[in-house]
Each structure stands twice: as structure tokens, then as C-alpha cells.
Amino acid sequence: MRINPALFLLFFMLMAGSCQTKMNTSTQFPDLVPPKASEKPYELVSAHGHKRSDPYYWLRERENPEVIAYLEAENAYYDSMTAHTRPLQEKLFAEMKGRIVEDDQSVPVRRGDYFYYVRYVKGGEYPIYVRRKGSMEGAEEVLVDGNELGKGQAYLSFFLSVSDDHRFAAVVVDTVGRNFYEIRVRDLSANTWLPDRIPHTRGAVEWSTDATAFYYTLPEAVSLRTNKVMRHSLGKAVSTDALVYEEKEPTLNCSVGKSKSRQYIMITSDRTDASLVHILDASVAGFGAKPRPIAPLRDGVEYRVDHAGGDHWMIYTNQQAVNFRLVKAPLNRTQPEHWVDVVAHRADVLLEDVDYFRDFMVLQEKREGLSHIRILPASGAAPFELPFDEPAYTASLSYNPEFESEVVRYSYTSLTTPATVYDYDMKARRRTLMKQQQVPGGFEPSRYKSERVMVPSRDGRRIPVSIVYRVDRFKKGNGQPGWLYAYGSYGSSMDARFSSNRLSLLDRGFVFAIAHVRGGMEMGGGWYEEGKMLNKKNTFNDFIDCSRWLQEQGYVAKDKLFAQGGSAGGLLMGAVSNMAPELYRGIIADVPFVDVISTMMDESIPLTTFEWQEWGNPNIREQYDYMLSYSPYDQVERKNYPHMLVTTGLHDSQVQYWEPAKWVARLRAMKTDKNVLFLYTNMDAGHGGASGRFESLKEVAREYSFAFDLLGIRE
């Protein structure tokens, strides 16, 4: 985004006093005056009469030129302050890009007579969707070339939904990064675009059985909560699209999917603690029908529905099962009183996922925070598990669309093992390696070692931590720098996965660790419950306890620990920077959710109301007070803070850009140290940052160079 003359003038007003540049004798940072956001009185009053002053509330005005000027000034300040690191950033970018196979492709997936896959070409940022008919020996057919689609676009995210008869593809495209998608339709048999175009959708697309229509979702205009499921008939005007379902409950967000049998459309309305599923015949017979609910909405009860064939539904649920169980119910008697256990609840095992085949059922489970894949033969023979032997790893079910298959595809990775895809013949009990991520540049797994430790928390819980380091650069108590990552919200498990980018940390002597803190589901459903709502501070305390343990046990030097988290993990970064700033040399907070109270109070902000069961309802005094007690923006104090790098995207619809902008503005006004504080806004992207497999590496290089520079690492 370019600065117009008015913004240019505002920029220099904001940067007043910073024109004289000189090098600080103790660091390489220029002695520049950082931008200062204007303070404009604004008072927020809660439903309970509690008043808060927010002098930076005006930064919410996205269209205000002064707001854009402030964000541009912060970017310019970052660029000037870190200009000396540009050669290092370029080196890191080239280094990480050099570990990517530029001419690459995914493992083909069979659907009917076709094998679908994506491939990349040298220099290409985006995937090319292709297929072959009959076998991989057939002629390749290009469905959509992402590099052509992305020409002239600053941002591109897209995916395809192919009809069951393989004739059409709905191409779902976002060119802004705000998670609004335009649906375009391609006739694959004629290799042409149809005139059908549907703007401003929420991305989900499922085809009717006969491929004459597809279902999609729309958001509310203000809150952006996905509340409508529509059906579009090919060749018809969008204005004639049928409203299939409208979710009127303001705490629910809806989505659309399709059963494995391909016979049913499933409309799921959910929030963080509960869900409601309606089903509809996917054939033309369903066009005039009303979606039928499987079970009523109940607080605290989540369920997910599938149909693989036969006369029953398979239902994955946490009803009376904090670690989830699997039940089945007759097609026409779906209420909970008709549910019969297929896989009963187990107190020590989390049931994460299930897939269905004619002769087998495959379970993805987690015990003591580690993944397991268990196979249940339909014949009644004894179940069996796939063997895994690394201390910290992740194994998960892949896309398996063919019900008749005797082969299940799964993925495996660890902190030292690149992403690997296997096909496992469940009848012959034989594993076939289909693909392992290649890492050019001389990667040798034996140079690296991973560990999995259980760290005692202050309240007696044991927190799993996954650790990796380069063997020849590591010795306990030897003063190594460290990088600790965590998320800890929504029940999302942050499993131990390989990252070729991370080698740039490890090869420079860093110890990298993931703290599997409460709020995730690594240790089961109870682990999630202990890190949400009125238990949220457990997430922050766990991270702090893991940080101290790594330092006290000699894994990381006490003055060289960096912490990083994004989105809800950015909330974690904000909280620990207030609670224990002395533990961290630097903090990297990506798109951080830091203005908890103001966001939860404002029902017009996207994605707010259905998250009340994750964070709290501010209309309830106890929950309001608790959120206020940790909200990073509200808890900024006049004290020392670590070096900090904060990032955001102007078009972010999940965590609005103004949250990190306000937070940085308040930190600048309050902090008493001379440590650097940077705000970098991607003016062309949203929550996920830059698009493209190479452009995104520049953001990683920015974060790594921030830490390296503070440690005096110049190469």
C-alpha cells in the first residue's frame, strides 16, 4: 500500500524528532524516536457499570487516514531500526528457500476413476491442481494453475471442490486475506470457466449428487458470523439461490460438509463448547426438503456426524465423555436415547478422529499426549495398532475418500523426521512409504535429537514439553539460546512436527521447544477444560513454569529465552509479558488477541459471540472480572518489558489489526525500559500473513533475525 500525500505528511508528524540518526554504542539499533499514537479520550462502560479508559480506541477506524499513517509509520520505524539486519534476513530467506524442493507434488489421492494431486513448479508460489484418469500413467489434466490465478494479486488463497461426477470444480478464491471467498466454477470436461460467480462467501462448498447444484455458506454483514447455507443451481442467477438453512442463534457459527457415503449434506452449527447438526439428502430429492436435526443443542455437548453406508449414523461426541466416544444411531432415530456405544469413553485415552472403511474402522487416539492409530476389523478380530517409536512425534489420518479400500493413508512426522505419508494395507498389515518431504541442503536427521519431558506445574500437573536441538551444539548448562512456542486454546493440540525452517534456529545453537499447555487437548478433554473460561490463567502459568524449568535445568540460558505464539497464542504472549517479563529476552507475538474485554463486549466484531464459551461472557460479572484480570491490553503496567516484535495484518477478520496496534501504543506509553518494541503490519494480508510458499518465508526470516540480532548473531 502506497502513502498518499496526506498520509505522507502525517507520517512525518508522527516521526517528529527522529530525523537525526546515530548508532547506539551498545547495540546496532539506530537512535530513533518511535512513532507515538495520539491519545484521544474514550470511555468504555460494562453491563455492570465498570468504566475503563481507552485512549487508543480510535485506532479501530480502518478508513481513517491517521490510522493508516500510524501503521505505516510503525512499519517505517521497524524498517529503519532493523535495516542493518536486512542482509541477514536475505540470507535466512535464501537458506530456508534452499530447503524447499521447488518442483514438487503431493501423493495422488484416488477418487473413483481419477487420481488427484497438486504440484509446484520452480519459482511458482502457488499450487497447480491436476489429475490423471485411470492410473498415474494416464495423461495429466491441469484443473487450475494457481500461478496463473495469482497473477497481479498481492495475496492469494484458493482451493477446489470437485463434483462427484468429476465434471465440475468449484474454485474458491480469496485475494485479500480476510477469509471472504469468491466461488467460481470451472467445467473440467470443456476446460472452460462458467459464468457462475458468487462473491463474499465463507469458503465451504459441497456439490449435490447429480452435480447440478452446490451448497455454500454466507456470513452476517456486520459480525461476519457464518449463519446461512445457500444452494446455487448451475447456470442460474445468484439472486435466485435458495436459502437452505439459517442459524439464528448468535453464539453459533455454521458450516457445510458431506458424508463419506456422499449421500448426505451435513450442516454443522457450533461454538467452542457445543454443536448442532442438521442433515439433508444430497440428491435432487433434498432440494425441497427441510434439513433434519440429529440431536438438539445442549450446553457442553459436542458431536460430529458421518454416514459411511448402511442404516445408521456414526456420531463422535463428548456427551458424558470428556475424552469423546463413538456411538451409532438408526437413520430415523437419531436422538441421544438411541445412541449405542461403538467405542466407549476411556478416562486415559482421547479419541481424536475416526475414519470408516467397508471392512475396517480406524481410530486416531492420543495417550499421554502421544498419537496412536488403532485399527478395528469389522470381522470382530482383535484390534491392532501401528508402531511408532520416537519420543515426540505426530501421526494422523489423511484424506481417505474410498470406502471400499483396504488401505488407509496416514501421515507421520516428528521434530527430527520430515513429513511422511504412508499407505497401510489393513488386510496384509503392510506399510508402504508413499512420500517423505525432501530437505535439500544437506539435512542429516542424526545431527538432531528430540526429547519429550514432563514439567511439573505449580498446581501439581505434569506439562508435556517437546524439545529438539542440534547434538553438536548442545550441552546442558552451556548457555544455549532457546525458543519456546505454545498455543493453548480451543482444544487445539500443538503436536511435535518437523519444520525445515526451524533448522535455521537449531543450526545456530538454539534449543526449540513446544509447551503443550492446558487449553489444548494434548492430554485429553480435561486438559482443555482446565485451560478455558475461569481456568484460563492455567495456560499462562503452565507456559511460565515451562520457561523457568528449561532455564533451571540448563536447556536454555536465563538471559536467552525467546517466546513465540500467534492469535490466541498471541494472547498467551501478552499475558506472560505482563506476568513474568523477566524470563524472556524477547517475545514474538503474531496477530495477537490481546484486547479481550473490549472484543468480547462488542458483538459487532467478527467471531465474538460464539467464543463466549471459550473466554467468557462479559455480561456475567464473574466472567468479566476474570477476563479483565488477565487481558494483556488492560494489564499493561509501568515497568520493564522484554524486547518485543508484534505482527498483524490489516485485513485480519479473526483478530482485528487494532488489537496489536492499541497494545503496542499502550506499551510504548507505559514501559520503563529501553528494549526495542516493533509493530509490523502486513498491509496486504490477513490472519494467516503472506500467501505463497516463498513470500511467507520472509515473515519467518523477519522473526528469526529479530532474535539473532539481539543475541549478536550476524550470520
Closest CA to 557 of 502, 483, 504, 503: 483
φ/ψ (deg, to 5) at 254: -110, 155
How many contiguous H segments (helices) and E segments (strands) does the chain have? 13, 39
Host H or E run for residue 505: helix 503-506
What does the angle CA 163 – CA 164 – CA 168 come to, to the nearest 5 degrees?
25
**What is 441-494 written as a DSSP string?**
TT--GGGEEEEEEEEEPTTS-EEEEEEEEEGGG--TTS---EEEE----TT---
- Residues 57, 67 contacting (CB under 8 angstroms): no
Host H or E run for residue 699: helix 695-711
As a dihedral over the C-alpha atoms of residue 304, residue 308, residue 313, residue 317, rounded to 10 degrees, the angle is -30
Catalytic one of 18, 371, 567, 653: 567
- Residues 514, 494 contacting (CB under 8 angstroms): yes
Q: What are the cell numbers at 84?
A: 542493518
Whether 163 is catalytic: no
* Amino acid at the residue 285: A
Alpha helix ranges (H) inside 553-591:
568-579
Quote the CA–CA distance of 414 and 395 in Å, as a whole number.
9
Catalytic one of 306, 687, 705, 709: 687
3-class SS at 659? helix
What interhelical angle do 695-711 and 86-97 show, nearest 10? Answer: 130
- Residues 270, 281 contacting (CB under 8 angstroms): no
3-class SS at 569? helix
Whether 103 is catalytic: no
Which residues contact residue 364 at a Cβ distance below 8 angstroms, ignoring those fewer than 6 apart? 351, 352, 353, 354, 355, 371, 372, 373, 395, 396, 397
- Residues 130, 142 contacting (CB under 8 angstroms): yes
- Residues 175, 164 contacting (CB under 8 angstroms): no
Closest CA to 18 of 2, 6, 7, 29: 29
Catalytic one of 241, 495, 652, 709: 652
The burial class, CB within 10 Å (0-12 / 13-18 / 19+), for 55 is middle
φ/ψ (deg, to 5) at 67: -65, -50
- Residues 474, 66 contacting (CB under 8 angstroms): no
Placement of cell 502421544 in the chain: 370
Whether 691 is catalytic: no
Chain centroid to Cα 479, Å, comes to 32
* Amino acid at the residue 326: L
Quote the CA–CA distance of 559 and 579 in Å, as a whole number.
17
Which residues contact residue 403 at a Cβ distance below 8 angstroms, ignoring those fewer than 6 apart? 260, 261, 308, 309, 356, 357, 358
As annotated, the active-site residues are: 567, 652, 687
